[in-house]
Amino acid sequence: MDLSDWLLALHLLAAFALVAAQVIFTVLIVSSWNLDVPSQVVRMNPIGKIGTVLVSVGGLGVLVFGIWLAFTKDSYAIWDFWILAAIVLWAIATGVGAREGKIYNAAGLRAKELVDAGNDAPNPELNAMLRNPIALRMHILVLVVILLLLLDMVFKPFA
């Protein structure tokens, strides 16, 4: 195996981590719709942290190893349409995902505050934060953009 093979393998592993993170986040979002009390939300926070690590490692990995691969392989050029499209899609997914994450992280922090204060009763404010329609739309947008990114990588339009 040469350097290009290793870079491609690492690029694909990073993409897998990125997709796995989105699966975790989707399950957490859907699961949170049925949560009634803050302690239930707090119990799910460690799973969210796993997703955060995966999305960070995967997001950075696909970008770094993908660009490195584009410079290493003679058949790729960084200015190829499909590579530029992938970078733009990556930037959109990263930006929207970060904004979405702030909303859901605020809900997790609020749940922890309520539990720490000894208030583990159903909380309408927390429920509204968990069911935020803007955050849900952002998550759906991130999923669509990542799907487009994967399609771009598989089919390499205009290559």
Q: Each residue of 9-27: pLDDT tens digit? A: 999 999 999 999 999 999 9
Domain spans of the chain?
Answer: 3-153
How many helices and strands in the chain, by DSSP H and E? 5, 0
CB-based contacts of 20, cutoff 8 Å, min separation 6: 54, 58
Q: Each residue of 39-65: pLDDT tens digit? A: 999 999 999 999 999 999 999 999 999
Asked whether the beta carbons of 85 and 152 are under 8 A apart, the reply is yes
pTM over 0.85, yes/no: yes
Name the residue among 79, 94, 98 with its Cα closest to residue 149: 94
